[in-house]
Structure 1
């Protein structure tokens, strides 16, 4: 009887585990350069919704070009350095390869690609409050509701801009009621930005504590961000 009881319990646990959806997080961005703030954000997202893994996805040609964007090969190399000690963190060159073909990267198109590549996973897109607000205010190519229909969104606070669903535009909330449960706040304010780090490097300041020594050494060796005005476009 005891063996039969244990078998039934184990069977239930097995079935429950089968029903649990697998989750994959996507952290896109310029990573120009990547820093510990990106790692802090990824680790918080990993725990917040129990993601199986997180894919770091450096952009190729962003819709809004940046003249100070380092070469794709350098940004890829630096991201690899950043995540090398965590087996749950992976890297994708999907958007980079699109950029090499002269194509711009759009989040909606990337999500559609990922859903085909990982059909058994729920997609969790990780982004900042400012980017999420731009998305729902129609400043991106694709409609915010269309995006919410395809993926979950993990939204991190920005400095002086904590994320709150209550502050979203009323018109958007009315249209997106069935999708709002797919929007999750990451109560986290990353205390550093890549822009700040680039400015410090240009001024010859010592290494920012949020920039790993190995990445700082790579930047010095390749002489990245020394003269932002003359950086080559990707």
Structure 2
């Protein structure tokens, strides 16, 4: 049975922290692949102003150099609000020979009690939590925790830097930074 990690997010933009988390969990759990799942409309965040095609392209650029990273567009294709339960149920139904691991940061671990159909979801998938500064990995739900090197960066931080005309070098893959500049995203020139 194949073992696949799922890393969802708006990826607005995808950054080195996303890649570090995916690689560390891949190595630690001996996964076959990690699938990046860009969300269409996440229920826990305000809507992004970045076009979904731009976020998808940035995510593809970010993972291009890693052969065990893939993109799955299930949430974009479904449209509307993206609930993890719906995504996981669809993937399990479609890929019966795969064991899935849902990768999340400490901020999402704390939010689990508010997730749609969480009691059913924990029976379907293994949750993997990675530490994030200022967040606790304790939960009333079963979470497999993975220690990773601390690299504190967020998409919000990167967007703010770019809006201020500051560099995002070493926070983003070079290909993603170039795309942002070419497309004039986040007020870049």
Tell me which residue corresponds to 2:179: 218
Question: How far 1:201 sits from its partner (Å)?
Answer: 0.4
Q: Which has the higher helix share?
A: 1
Task: Identify the range of structure 1 (62-71 vs 192-201) with the bigger mean alpha-carbon deviation.
Answer: 62-71
1:32-85, CA deviations, whole angstroms, 9 ceiling, x for partnerless residues?
000111110010110111111110000011124534441110011011111111
1:159 aligns with 2:120: no
CA–CA distance in 2 between the matches of 1:87 and 1:126?
19
**Candidates 140, 145, 148, aligned match of 1:185:** 145
1:1-55, CA deviations, whole angstroms, 9 ceiling, x for partnerless residues?
xxxxxxxxxxxxxxxxxxxx42111000000000111110010110111111110
CA–CA distance in 1 between the matches of 2:64 and 2:116?
33
SS of the residue 2:186 aligns to: coil
Cα pair 1:126 1:153 within 8 Å, conserved? yes
1:141 aligns with 2:121: no
Cα pair 1:24 1:121 within 8 Å, conserved? yes
- For structure 2, list consecutive stretches of 5 or more residues without a partner in the other structure: none
Question: How far 1:98 sits from its partner (Å)?
Answer: 1.6
SS of the residue 1:216 aligns to: helix
Cα pair 2:110 2:136 within 8 Å, conserved? no
CA RMSD for the aligned pairs? 1.7
**Candidates 103, 114, 117, aligned match of 2:94:** 117
Which one has the largest radius of gyration?
Answer: 1
Cα pair 1:30 1:69 within 8 Å, conserved? no
SS of the residue 1:155 aligns to: strand
1:73 aligns with 2:53: yes
Residues 69 and 127 of structure 1: is their aligned pair in 2 closer, same or farther, counting only changes over 3 Å?
farther
Give the TM-score normalised by structure 2.
0.92
Question: How far 1:117 sits from its partner (Å)?
Answer: 1.9
Question: How far 1:131 sits from its partner (Å)?
Answer: 0.8
CA–CA distance in 2 between the matches of 1:119 and 1:73?
29
Q: How many residues align?
A: 187
Give the TM-score normalised by structure 1.
0.75
SS of the residue 1:225 aligns to: helix
**Candidates 166, 169, 184, aligned match of 1:205:** 166
CA–CA distance in 1 between the matches of 2:153 and 2:76?
24
> 4+ residue stretches of structure 1 with deviation over 2 A?
64-69, 160-163
